[in-house]
Amino acid sequence: MTNHWNDLANTDCALIIGSNAAENHPMSFKWLTKAREERKAKIICVDPRFTRTAARSDIHAPLRSGTDIAFIGGLINYAIQKNKFQRDYVVRYTNAAFIVDDGYDFKDGYFSGWDPQKKTYANATWNFKKDDQGNFLKDETLENPRCVFQLLKKHYNRYDADTVCKVTGTPKEVYLKVCEAYTGTGQPNKSGTIMYAMGCTQHTVGSQNVRSYAMLQLLLGNIGVPGGGVQAMRGESNVQGSTDFGLLFHMLPGYISSPQATPEYALLADYLKKETPASGYWVNKPKFFTSLLKAWWGDKATAENDFAYHYLPKRDPKKNYSHIALFEAMYKGEIKGCFVWGGNPVVGGPNARKEAAALGKLDWLVCMDLFETETANFWSKEAGADPKTINTEVFMLPVAASYEKAGSISNSGRWCQWRYKAVNPPGEARDDLMLLHELALRLKRAYASSDKPQDEPIKHLFWDFGNDPHHPDIEIVAKEISGYDWTTKTQLKTFGDLKDDGSTVSGCWVYGGMYNGPAKENNRARNRKTEKEGIGQHLDWAFAWPVNRRILYNRCSADYDGKPWSEDKKLLWWDGSKWGGLDVPDFVPTKAPSDPGGTDPYIMQAHGKGGLFAVMAEGPFPEHYEPWESPVNQQPFSKVLVNPVAKVFETEKGDNTKFPYVGTTYRVCEHWQTGVLTRNTPWLAELMPHMFVEISPTLAQAKGIKNGDQVVVSSLRGEIKCYVIVTGRFQPLMIDGKPVEQVGMPWHYGFLGLAKGSVANHLTPHVGDANTTIPEYKAFLCDIRRAN
C-alpha cells in the first residue's frame, strides 16, 4: 500500500477492483464505512460476481475476469477526454511532459521492438529523449505529439466506453456511472483510492493491471495524498515482510536484485555498476548492499575480498526460478530436496495435481506447520496417491503459532508491529526462529572442517545470535536487521547512516533505524501510542518503513510551491525553511520546492517523476490482451489475442468450445489461504464447512443443475467434484453481444482438516504473468455438469 488502513477513512471514493475487501480484508470496511458516513465517500466494487463487498458498495460494476486493462483504459480515456485529470499534478509530478524516443510506436497490438521470430521485445525505443547535457526533453504544455501525455491519449483513445463494455461485459450505463464517480476525484480537494488484491495480479497481464491503476491515480492526482494511493492489500499477515526480506529468487533483502551468472555481475564493482542508477534514491544502493554483505559474512567480509560478494549465489540468467518454474524443474527431477516453511502447494499451487506429482520426484521434503498439511501428505491414499510407489522421505515438523513466540510482522501499510509471546507451543512444537537457528548452527558445524572454497559461504556465514544452542536471541536478530556500526556496535538511527566501506551492518536497509538504540524500547515495532487527534497517521504506533513514513510519495500532497493542494487534503507543507506536517517527508526535509529536484516526488525513479510511461515486459502502456484461456477468439483492440510475452509452461490450452465458461477462484472471509489453519479451527470450519462452486441461474437451467446439487467442474488440467450454489449473484456477461457464463469457486479446500473438499487448483494452469510469473489463477476455461 502506498497509504495505510486508517487512511482509507480520508478517501472520497474507493475503487475496489481485483479484490473482495469486505471478505478478505474485512477491517478495510471499518474505515471505508467511516469515510462514507463522515465524508459521503462513494464505494465502487468492480468484480465479476456480486460479493459481500458489492453488497456494501454504492456501485457494483461487473466485469469479465481478465479485462481490467480495458476497464481502466476506458477510465483513463474518460478522464482525458472529459478533462477530469489534475493537470498541474500531471505536468510536473509525472513523466507526461517527457518526449519519447522517435522509434517508439504501437501498431496492431504490438509495441515497437517486437521480434516475431524470437517472440520477444527489444525495448530500446521505450525511452525518453535527452538533450546534449543529458537532460530529459520535455514539453510542459503537453502539446508535443511525441510527449508521453499525447502518446497516452492516443493509445487510450481506442478505449471508448462502447468498445470497453463489449470486452468487459459491464453494462454501459453502469460503466459510465463508475467513470463519472471515480474521475470526480481528479480535483485538488478530492482524493480517490484504488484497492486491489489477487484478483488483479493473478493474470497473464497482472503487473500491467497494477500499472493501469497507478496510471489512473497519477492522472487524477491521487498519489501521495491522504485518502489516495494504490493499495496492494496483502493476503498473508507478513507477506509484506517476507517480500521485504527477499524470500524470492530474484531479490535480496531490501529490493536489491540477486546477482546473475554473467560477466556483468562478476565482481562487486561490476554488480554495483550494473545495478546503481545515476540519479534517484537508489544511488545509495552500494551502501545498502555492502551493509547487507557485512551483515551476512561479518569479519569475513572485507574490502579486500569484495565484502564476500562472491559468496552470494549467482543465478543462471537464462533460467526462471519462480514458483511455477520451480515445480516444473521438480517435476523433471532436477530438484532433490525441498523445504516448505508454512505453505501448501498441493492445495494452493496452480495445476496443483502436477505440483503434487512433482513432490513425488523429490528425495526429501521438509514441511513446517501447525497442523498436518496436504503437501506433507501428498503421498497418502487420501491424496489419491499410491504410497508404495512414492519414495520421497518426508519430515513434518510441528511449529509454534503466532502468539506462542515473539517477533515482528509488517502489514500491508508497511507497519512493522511486535507480537508478544502469550503461551508456550503445545507438545514439542518449536518456533521457526529456533529451527532456523539450529539448522544453521548444525550446518555450519557440518562444514566447519571443510577447506573447499565452495563451502566458505556457509562455513563463514556470520551467525552470532547469542549463546543458546537452541534459541537465538531475537533482539540481536532485530538489531542486525535494523543496522549498527560494526566497530562500536551502536545501533544506527536511520538508513541514511549506512556506508559502503564495510563499517556498517544492516540486514534489510528499508527497516534501517527501526531499532535505534540498545534497549528493547528502542525497537519501534513495539511503539504503542495512538494519535489523539489528526487524520489517523498514528506516527507513534509501530514503525512504518521507510523511516516511519505513512504515506509514500507525500511530496505530491503539496503544489509546486509546497502549499497543500487543499486544506482538506493537507499532509506536508513547506514553511519557507523546511518541510513539516502530518507525516515524515519523502525527501530531504530542507530541500526547497525551488531547489533542483524540488518537484521530483517519485524519489525511487531515476527521473523523479511518476511513470505514466514505464518499461514493462509487454510494453510501456498497459494494453488489453485476453487471458491465456479465453472464451473469445478475437478482441476489438487488436489482432493480438493473448499477451505475447506471457510465461506459458503448459503445452496445450483448453478449447473454448469444449470449455466454454470463464472459471475463477477466490477466498471467503471465514477461511485463509489453503485452509491449513482455518479448516482445522472448529469455529471457522463450522462457518464454511463445504467446498462449493457458484453459477448463475441461467447456467444452472441450461445444465439441469439445482442449488445444492453435487457437480463436476472440469478444465483441461482435470476435474473436481463439489456442491453448487446457484445464485443471482452470478450472471452471464454480454461479451460482444454474446452471453458468457462465469463459474467461481473458493480455493481453500483440501483433503485434510475438519472442513474438507476438492482442490480448486486442480483446474488452474501453469501460466504466468509476463513480468512476475504470478500464475493466472483468476481466469481459465472450464465446463460444469451435474454429478451422477
Partner 1 sequence: MVVITRRSFLKLSGTAAAAAGVGTLGFDLSQAYAKTAELKIKESKAVPTICPYCGVGCGILIHVDKEGKVIHVEGDAEHPINRGSLCSKGASLGQLHNNDRRLKKPLYRAPGSDKWEEKDWDWTLTEIVKRVKETRDKSFIHKEGDLIVNRTEAIASLGGAALDNEECYLMSKLNRGLGLVYFEHQARI
Partner 2 sequence: MGEVAKLIDVTKCTACRGCQVACKQWHDLPTETTPDKTKFAGSYQSHPDLGPNTYTIIEFIENTNENGTQWHFKKTGCMHCTDAACILVCEKKALSKLENGIVYRDMAKCVGCGYCAQNCPFLVPKVNPKTEKATKCTLCENRVEAGLKPACVSTCITGALDFGPREKMLEIAKNRVATLQQQGMTKAQVYGEKELGGTHVIYVLGDAPEVYGLPADPQVPLSATLWQKYGKPLGAAAFCASLGTTLFAFFLNRKKDLAPKLHHHEGGKSHGV
Partner whose footprint covers residue 55, from partner 2, partner 1, none (CB < 5 to 8 Å by kind): partner 2
Q: Please tell me the distance from the alpha carbon of residue 204 to that of residue 502, in angstroms, as a whole number.
A: 42
Partner whose footprint covers residue 42, from partner 1, partner 2, none (CB < 5 to 8 Å by kind): none
Taking CB under 8 A as the binding criterion, the range among 345-353, 542-550, 570-578, 717-725 that sits at the site for partner 2 is 717-725
Minimum distance between the CB of residue 770 and partner 1, rounded to whole angstroms?
A: 14
Of 678, 706, 688, the closest CA to residue 745 belongs to 688
Q: Please tell me the distance from the alpha carbon of residue 720 to that of residue 352, in angstroms, as a whole number.
A: 12
Minimum distance between the CB of residue 47 and partner 2, rounded to whole angstroms?
A: 12
Minimum distance between the CB of residue 185 and partner 1, rounded to whole angstroms?
A: 23
Q: Please tell me the distance from the alpha carbon of residue 361 to that of residue 337, in angstroms, as a whole number.
A: 9
What are the φ/ψ torsions at residue 485 (nearest 5 degrees)? -80, 125
The residues in 357-396 that bind partner 2, with binding defined as CB under 8 A, are none
Task: Tell me whether residue 281 or residue 723 sits nearer to partner 2 (CB atom).
Answer: 723
Partner whose footprint covers residue 634, from partner 1, partner 2, none (CB < 5 to 8 Å by kind): none
Task: Tell me whether residue 280 or residue 768 sits nearer to partner 1 (CB atom).
Answer: 768
Partner whose footprint covers residue 223, from partner 2, partner 1, none (CB < 5 to 8 Å by kind): none
Minimum distance between the CB of residue 719 and partner 1, rounded to whole angstroms?
A: 22
Say how many residues touch partner 2, by CB under 8 A.
38
Q: Please tell me the distance from the alpha carbon of residue 707 to that of residue 729, in angstroms, as a whole number.
A: 13
Query: Rounded to the nearest 10 degrees, how much is the dihedral formed by the CA atoms of 509, 514, 518, 522?
Result: 180
The DSSP symbol for 128 reads B
Partner whose footprint covers residue 536, from partner 2, partner 1, none (CB < 5 to 8 Å by kind): partner 1
- Count of other CB atoms within 10 angstroms of residue 669: 16
**All residues at 6 or more sequence positions from 168 whose CB lies less than 8 Å from its CB, including other chains:** 63, 64, 67, 70, 71, 175, 733
Q: How far is CA 769 from CA 71, 200, 324, 619, 776, in A?
A: 19, 11, 11, 13, 7
Minimum distance between the CB of residue 249 and partner 1, rounded to whole angstroms?
A: 5
Task: Tell me whether residue 103 or residue 739 sits nearer to partner 2 (CB atom).
Answer: 739
Q: Please tell me the distance from the alpha carbon of residue 32 to that of residue 399, in angstroms, as a whole number.
A: 36
The residues in 648-687 that bind partner 2, with binding defined as CB under 8 A, are 668-670, 682-687
Q: Is 569 left (phi over 0), alpha (psi -120 to 50) or beta?
A: alpha
Exactly one of 153, 444, 729, 786 binds partner 2 (CB under 8 A); that residue is 729
Contact 506, 513 (CB under 8 A): no
Task: Tell me whether residue 223 or residue 510 sits nearer to partner 1 (CB atom).
Answer: 510
The residues in 682-711 that bind partner 2, with binding defined as CB under 8 A, are 682-690, 692, 697, 700, 707-708
Minimum distance between the CB of residue 172 and partner 1, rounded to whole angstroms?
A: 35
Task: Tell me whether residue 56 or residue 146 sits nearer to partner 2 (CB atom).
Answer: 56
Is the preceding peptide bond at 697 cis, omega within 30 degrees of 0?
no
Task: Tell me whether residue 37 or residue 393 sits nearer to partner 2 (CB atom).
Answer: 37
Does the footprint of partner 2 cover residue 727 (CB under 8 A)?
A: yes
Contact 212, 76 (CB under 8 A): yes
Exactly one of 505, 726, 733, 759 binds partner 2 (CB under 8 A); that residue is 726
The residues in 26-45 that bind partner 2, with binding defined as CB under 8 A, are 26-27, 29-30, 33
Exactly one of 42, 52, 550, 569 binds partner 2 (CB under 8 A); that residue is 52
Partner whose footprint covers residue 423, from partner 2, partner 1, none (CB < 5 to 8 Å by kind): partner 1
Does the footprint of partner 2 cover residue 106 (CB under 8 A)?
A: no
Exactly one of 13, 35, 41, 54 binds partner 2 (CB under 8 A); that residue is 54
Partner whose footprint covers residue 725, from partner 2, partner 1, none (CB < 5 to 8 Å by kind): partner 2
Partner whose footprint covers residue 729, from partner 1, partner 2, none (CB < 5 to 8 Å by kind): partner 2
Minimum distance between the CB of residue 411 and partner 1, rounded to whole angstroms?
A: 3
Query: What would the x/- binding string for partner 2 be over residues 149 to 168, using CB under 8 A?
Result: --------------------
> Residue 94's beta-bridge partner residues?
610
Does the footprint of partner 2 cover residue 56 (CB under 8 A)?
A: yes
Task: Tell me whether residue 380 or residue 566 sits nearer to partner 1 (CB atom).
Answer: 380
Element (H, E) at 409: strand 407-410
Q: Please tell me the distance from the alpha carbon of residue 145 to that of residue 130, in angstroms, as a whole number.
A: 16
Q: Please tell me the distance from the alpha carbon of residue 251 to that of residue 288, in angstroms, as a whole number.
A: 13
Minimum distance between the CB of residue 345 and partner 1, rounded to whole angstroms?
A: 7
Cβ burial of 159 (10 Å; 0-12, 13-18, 19+) is buried
Of 239, 264, 271, the closest CA to residue 410 belongs to 239
Task: Tell me whether residue 58 or residue 531 sits nearer to partner 1 (CB atom).
Answer: 531
**SS3 sequence of 518-577:** CCHHHEHHHCECCCCCCCCCCCCECEECCCCCCCCCHHHHECCCCCECCCCCCCEEECCC
What are the φ/ψ torsions at residue 423 (nearest 5 degrees)? -145, 165
Exactly one of 4, 60, 405, 459 binds partner 2 (CB under 8 A); that residue is 60
Can you give the binding site for partner 2, defined by CB under 8 A? Answer: 22-23, 26-27, 29-30, 33, 50, 52-56, 60, 668-670, 682-690, 692, 697, 700, 707-708, 723-729
